[in-house]
Chains A and B, each alone.
Chain A
Amino acid sequence: MSQFILALRFFRRDFRSGELRLLVLALIIAVAAVSAVGFFTNRVEQAMTLQANQVLAADLVLSSNNPIPASFEQQADMLDLNVAHTLSFPSVIVHQDQTQLVEVKAVSKNYPLRGDLRVRPFASANEEVVKHPPAPGHLWGEARLMAALNLQPGAQISLGESVFLLEKILSRDFALGNSFFRLGPEVLIALEDIPKTGLVTPASRVRHRLLIAGNQEQVKTFQGWATTRLPQGVRLEHLSSARPELRGALDRGSRFLGLAALVAVLVAGATVALSTRQFVERQSDTSAIMRCLGASQSLIFNVLIIRLSLLCLIASLLGIAGGWLAQYFLADLLSDWFGGALPPPSLWPILTGLGTGFITLLGFTLPPALRLGAVPPLRVLRRDLDAPPASTWLLVLLGIGAMALLMYLQAGDSTLAGWVLLGTLTTVGLLLLTAWLLVRMLSPLRHRGGALWRQGLSGLARNPSMTALQLTGFGLGILAMLLLTIIRTDLLDAWQKTIPEQAPNHFLINIQPSDVDNLGAFFQAQAIEQAGIYPMLRARLTHINDQPVSPDQYQDERAQRLVSREFNLSWSAQMQTENKIVAGSWWGGTNQQRALFSVEVDIANTLGISLGDQLAFNLAGVPIKATVSNLRRVHWDSFQPNFFVIGTPALLKEHPANFITSFYLPPGKETALAALVRQFPSITIIDVSAIMQQIREIMQRGSLAVEYVFLFTLAAGILMLYAGIQASREYRRQEAIVLRTLGMQRNGLLTAAAIEFVLLGLLAGTLATLCANVTGWFIATEVFGFQYNLNPWTIVAGILGSGIAIGLAGMLATWPLSIKPPLRMLQNG
Chain B
Amino acid sequence: MTTDDNPEQPVVKASNITKQLPGPDGVLTILDGISLQLAEGEVTAILGASGSGKSTLLGLLAGLDEVTRGEIELFGQSLAGLNEDSRAALRAGKVGFVFQSFQLLPGMTALENVMLPLELAGIRNPAIGATEALEQVELGDRLYHYPGQLSGGEQQRVAIARAFASQPKVLFADEPTGSLDQATGSRIIDLLFQMREQTGAALLLVTHDERLAARCDHRLLIEQGRLEQTS
Contacts and interface: CB of A to CB of B under 8 A. Distances in A.
Interface string A259-300: 000000000000000000000001001100111111111110
Contact of A380 (B92, B103, B120): B103
B105 A285 contact: yes
B193 interface: no
B65 A294 contact: no
B163 to A, nearest CB: 10
Given A17-B108, A378-B59, A294 B84 contact: no
Given A13-B112, A285-B105, A298 B85 contact: yes
Q: Which of A294, A295, A376, A828 has the most CB of B within 10 A?
A: A294
A299 B103 CA distance: 20
Given A381-B99, A381-B174, A827-B148, A293 B117 contact: yes
Contact of A295 (B92, B95, B108, B115): B92
Contacts of B95: 292-294
A297 B85 contact: yes
Nearest to B55: A381
B89 to A, nearest CB: 6
B62 A292 contact: yes
A296 B89 contact: yes
Nearest to A380: B103
B211 to A, nearest CB: 24
Nearest to B147: A829
Residue from the set A6, A290, A381 with the largest chain B CB neighbour count within 10 Å: A381
A193 interface: no
A292 B62 CA distance: 8
Contacts of B117: 293-294
B116 interface: yes
A293 B92 contact: yes
B105 A289 contact: yes
A289 B103 contact: yes
B106 A292 contact: no
Nearest to B146: A829
B24 to A, nearest CB: 15
A17 B91 contact: no
Given A289-B103, A376-B64, A296 B122 contact: no
A828 B64 contact: no
B91 A294 contact: yes
Chain A interface, DSSP helix/strand/loop, else mixed: helix
Range of interface residues on B (Cβ < 8 Å): 35 or more
Contacts of A9: 115, 119
Contacts of A293: 91-92, 95, 97, 116-117, 120, 166
Contacts of B22: none
B115 to A, nearest CB: 8
A43 B36 CA distance: 75
Given A376-B65, A381-B99, A294 B108 contact: no
Contacts of B28: none
A378 B88 contact: no
Interface string B101-131: 1010111100010011101111000000000
B116 A377 contact: no
Most buried by B among A19, A290, A295: A295
Interface in B38-63: 55, 58-59, 62
A371 to B, nearest CB: 13
Given A292-B62, A828-B148, A377 B88 contact: yes
A232 interface: no
Interface string A469-486: 000000000000000000
A478 to B, nearest CB: 32
A175 to B, nearest CB: 66
Nearest to A3: B122
B142 to A, nearest CB: 15
A294 B64 contact: no
B88 A291 contact: yes
Interface in A355-407: 376-378, 380-383
A298 B85 CA distance: 9
Give the contact-size bracket for chain A.
Answer: 20 to 34
A295 B107 contact: no
A301 to B, nearest CB: 11
A829 B146 CA distance: 9
A2 interface: yes
Interface in A10-63: 13-14, 17-19
Contacts of A14: 107
A380 B64 contact: yes
A289 B103 CA distance: 8
A294 B148 contact: no
Contacts of A381: 55, 58-59, 64, 99, 174
B225 interface: no
Nearest to A829: B148
A6 B124 CA distance: 11
Nearest to B85: A296
A662 to B, nearest CB: 71
B153 interface: no
A295 B146 CA distance: 23
B93 interface: yes
A19 B146 CA distance: 13
Contacts of B105: 285-286, 289
Contacts of B101: 383
B93 A294 contact: yes
B85 A2 contact: no
A19 to B, nearest CB: 5
A381 B97 CA distance: 11
Nearest to A294: B92
Contacts of B119: 6, 9
B112 A297 contact: no
Nearest to B93: A294
Interface string B203-214: 000000000000
A294 B120 contact: yes
Interface in B54-87: 55, 58-59, 62, 64-65, 84-85
Contacts of B146: 17, 829
A380 B89 contact: no
A667 B116 CA distance: 81
A726 to B, nearest CB: 16
Given A17-B107, A378-B65, A290 B120 contact: yes
B122 A2 contact: yes
B92 A19 contact: no
Contacts of A18: 107
A14 B94 CA distance: 27
Contacts of B88: 291, 294-297, 377
B45 to A, nearest CB: 18
A290 B119 CA distance: 10
A376 B59 CA distance: 11
Select the residue from A14, A282, A290, A296 with max chain B CB neighbours within 10 A: A296
A294 B170 CA distance: 13
Contacts of A285: 103, 105
A297 B62 contact: no
A827 B108 CA distance: 16
Contacts of B174: 381
B97 A294 contact: no
Contacts of B166: 293
A435 B174 CA distance: 40
Nearest to A12: B112
Contacts of A829: 106, 146-148
State the 9 A-B residue pairs at the shortest beta-carbon distance, nearest first.
A294-B92, A829-B148, A17-B107, A294-B91, A296-B85, A377-B64, A293-B117, A829-B106, A378-B64
15 contacts: A6-B119, A13-B108, A13-B112, A285-B103, A291-B88, A292-B95, A293-B97, A293-B117, A293-B166, A294-B120, A297-B84, A299-B120, A378-B64, A378-B65, A380-B64
Given A377-B64, A829-B146, 17 more contacts: A2-B122, A13-B108, A285-B103, A286-B107, A292-B64, A293-B92, A293-B97, A293-B116, A295-B120, A297-B88, A298-B85, A376-B65, A376-B84, A380-B103, A827-B148, A828-B148, A829-B106
Interface of A: 2, 6, 9, 13-14, 17-19, 282, 285-286, 289-299, 376-378, 380-383, 827-829
